[in-house]
Amino acid sequence: MPPARVVRFDTVTFWLFFPLAWAVWRLLPLRAAKAGTLALSLVFYAWWRPEYVVLIWLSSYVDYRIAGFIHAAHDERVRQRWLTVSLAGNLGLLAFFKYTPLIATTLGFGGDATTGKPEWLAAWVVPVGISFYTFQTLSYTIDVHARRLKPAASYFDFFLFVSFFPQLVAGPIVRARELLPQLQFRRPLSWPRIQLGLYRCIEGLFLKIVVADGLAPQVENAFRASTVADISPTQAWIGAVCFGAQIFADFAGYSWIAIGLALLMGFNFPENFRYPYISRSLTEFWTRWHITLSRWLRDYLYVPLGGNRAGAGRTYVNLMVTMLLGGLWHGASWSFLAWGGLHGLALAVERAFGWTRVRAGMSDPLRGPVDFVMRALRVVIVYVVVHVAWVFFRASDFTLAVAVLERMFVAPFTTPLGLEIIAQTPQLLLLVPIVALHAGQAAHEWLGLKKSAPLRLAVCVVWLVLLVLVDRGAASPFLYFQF
Amino acid sequence: MSNDPHETTRHARARSRRSAWRGPWPIAVGAIAAVVLLAGWRLALGSEKPSRGVKVDPAPKRFIDVEGAVAPLYLHGRAPADGLLVAGDSRIGSDISIRVLERRGVGPVGTLWNGLAQIEHVLAGARTLAPRRLVVCLTPASVYSKPLPHMAVILEKERAMRLTQRIDERLDDDLDVWRQRTFWTIEPNPWGGGEAGVRIEPQRHEGIYRLIVSEPTRATRREHLDVVHATLRDMIGAGWQIACVRLPATARIEAIEDEGFPPELIRNMCTDLGVPYLDMTGGEYTTFDGSHLLGADAERASNLIADWLLTLPHMQAR
């Protein structure tokens, strides 16, 4: 079966759909607006595969009912039992769809090079967005159990929260206590909100369509199993750097469009990316990269495991477990596990040495030229560590990841560097917007430079013009759709 | 509150600037600025980007499902009732410029092709479309070559595509074509890479062509040519206006083709059918792989074909 497509934000179809969705939410009476928005969100998801709408309905209905039972129960054991049912149900659903192929292959049911994959395995489909909406509904039942949240007044509202189209298929992972209250009224639109919403959408589209899709071939050249042994060290580094930029542009781009759409409709979504490549530690990196996932893992996994309250050794274990499971959340393969494990190890090392001072997104003025040099050094170190981990994330298997890393770190001592390829790769200019965005944020946080409205407008105009003028490569799905 | 009137004025001006940025006019200014920049780009560079490697010829693309096909078939461009179809294999994609043909006045043009699409299936696809004028580009490979498994896989994927996907692709394709026809667009990743935007290796396809026209396939190819012959006769009887072309390649490829598939076979078929035949072999054309023309020569070849078509009364739109 061919991979089907959801209505993607970077399609004409979506931008014909959105004005209708906007009008339904903004112009109809509130009850009708909710019903219409729910219907349109389901159409949005059904555009991919109508049959999987049943799954999202089932998942949300079961958790809605369970949350009701948890709230009504007074006996803590009964409450705990219902929470266990919710956890088992959600994680079971996720595991079934995501990990069945890996388990089947590991147990020898995945076919081989001679027989090929069995038909059922070749046709296996992971429902788009399942990792996101199961985490959303799980956070709801957990918060109700912890008495941080009262159950939603109606299933209708809850279903709308789960299926709300801007965040349905690839986040941000919005919590019930963040979105449910916003569904009870319509926030007035203001011109600054509309400006910001448009800006986020245009910036997100530019990052996805121009930058991420444009960098894809450079990444593929480096991560091709048949030719990896022949690529130069420079080409391997270009592949890794371009992948880091591609995944940022793709995922942050998608998140920014989602946030922009929400703003235009009158909602506030949590920020999901905050220029992660200016991080000075891995701990800080995880307050800037996929922020809604890292806070979910922190609040619902790391802290319940004990967090950093049970001594140093246990803290390191908790960090590793959290990041390993975070890796597995992304995909069913050993290379994702390795990616998570590397991050867990780095976080544990940072904690052991006390390198975890975090200043994400806040003003953190420079304290002189030496401070600048130290910060720059730390940014480079974190950048390299993150990109070594990205190699595992991108490679189709462990063997390929090791091969690419060999080209990056060992081959420079044994083969020509191949630096001339830099001049032959004008596509590297696509890295400039990523660098500029990060440099601008660093200037804001470290030098206190205010974000300028005229500059933002000028940049937005440039993004828009380039969106029209730059040809798209083979349009690829948002990378995080596969999660 | 300060009593300094200048400070009060400065504050008022700052407040006024801040409130101006909070109004609607930045959006309007931004939109106008974008339109002005795009208009300026178009004025400065025009809309027709010259072909550097592979020809620049944006046209909408549509899958045509044909029963029994061995490869997916695509229509590029337009196919109204007064249009002209140009049918063949992948050499159509590189060698025929829709833009050039239309500019020369042959009418709305659509090309119908895919790599290793068998011509009898292409003709079946043509019969499902509205035009009744057809230029058939025959090569030994398009008459018959052994079906490739991966083409069958692509064909199945196309057939399995859902309606919603087709809608998405169609709309996105239309927007891209409009964009590329309106502006001189920037390609971050030219097809195949390289300075000319494509890797140039004129000998690349020689081995493939030798294999295609090798002895074991010759009898089968003759049989398929008979099918093509009968189909064309049938189409002429149904009112189709048909002409045939043999597209150019490098001298070595042409020699390989002649050895495995004598050129008089096509010529005799055309004579028997009474259709005009243009043999473009023996010319000086540059290709990037031996059989597919580079962009500038594709435009030259398309101009030649247009010149020829315009001399044929029976190939004019009725």
Tens of pLDDT, residues A213-243? 999 988 988 998 888 888 899 999 999 999 9
Q: Which helix (H) or strand (E) holds A354?
A: none
With CB atoms and an 8 Å threshold, state whether B188 touches A427.
yes
C-alpha A349/C-alpha A334 separation (Å) is 22
With CB atoms and an 8 Å threshold, state whether B165 touches A4.
yes
CB atoms under 10 Å from CB of A25, counted, come to 22
- What digits encode the pLDDT tens for the residues A122-142? 778 888 888 899 999 999 999
Q: Is A74 a catalytic residue?
A: no
CA distance A189 to chain B (A): 12
Say what the pLDDT of residue B16 is. Answer: 60
- What digits encode the pLDDT tens for the residues A271-329? 999 999 999 999 999 999 999 999 999 999 999 888 888 888 889 999 999 999 999 88
Residue in A12, A457, A469 closest to B26 by CB: A457
Residue A225: phi and psi, rounded to 5, are: -60, -35
* Angle at B265 (CA atoms; ends B264, B269), nearest 5 degrees: 105
C-alpha B275/C-alpha B309 separation (Å) is 12
On the question of pLDDT at A1 being above 50, the answer is no
- Please, what sign has the CA dihedral across residues B106, B112, B118, B122? negative
Q: Supply the pTM of this predicted model.
A: 0.89
Query: Which residue in chain B is spatially nearest to A463 when comparing CA positions?
Result: B34
Per CB-CB distance under 8 Å, the chain A contacts of B165 are 4-5
Q: How far is CA B28 from the centre of its chain?
A: 39
C-alpha A259/C-alpha A269 separation (Å) is 6
Say what the pLDDT of residue B195 is. Answer: 44
**Is the distance from CB of A291 to CB of A271 less than 8 angstroms?**
yes
Say what the pLDDT of residue A49 is. Answer: 83
Say what the pLDDT of residue B1 is. Answer: 46
Say what the pLDDT of residue B11 is. Answer: 65
* Cα–Cα separations (whole angstroms), residue A427 to A174, A431, A470, B271: 35, 8, 12, 52
- Of these ranges, A89-103, A183-197, B191-205, B253-267, the one predicted with the greatest mean pLDDT is A183-197
H helices of A267-368, in order, are 282-285, 291-297, 303-305, 312-330, 334-353
Say what the pLDDT of residue B262 is. Answer: 86
CA distance A212 to chain B (A): 11
Residue B195: phi and psi, rounded to 5, are: -65, -40
Q: Is A430 exposed, middle or buried (0-12, 13-18, 19+ CB in 10 A)?
A: buried
- What digits encode the pLDDT tens for the residues A5-16? 556 899 999 999
- What digits encode the pLDDT tens for the residues A381-436? 999 999 999 999 999 888 999 999 999 999 999 999 999 888 888 889 999 999 99
Q: Does B23 touch chain A (CB under 8 A)?
A: yes
With CB atoms and an 8 Å threshold, state whether B168 touches A475.
no
Q: Which two tokens stand for residue A145?
A: 């159990």
DSSP conformational letter for A215: H
- Provide the CB-side half-sphere exposure for A54 (13 A, CA): 2
**Is the distance from CB of B131 to CB of B83 less than 8 angstroms?**
yes
Ranges of chain B whose pLDDT falls below 70: 1-20, 52, 117, 190-199
Query: Which residue in chain B is spatially nearest to A471 when comparing CA positions?
Result: B187
Interface residue of B18, B32, B162, B189 to substitute, partner A, most A CBs within 10 Å: B189
Integer-rounded Cα Rg, in Å, for chain B is 26
Q: Which helix (H) or strand (E) holds A109?
A: none
Q: Which two tokens stand for residue A24?
A: 């339904």
Integer-rounded Cα Rg, in Å, for chain A is 23
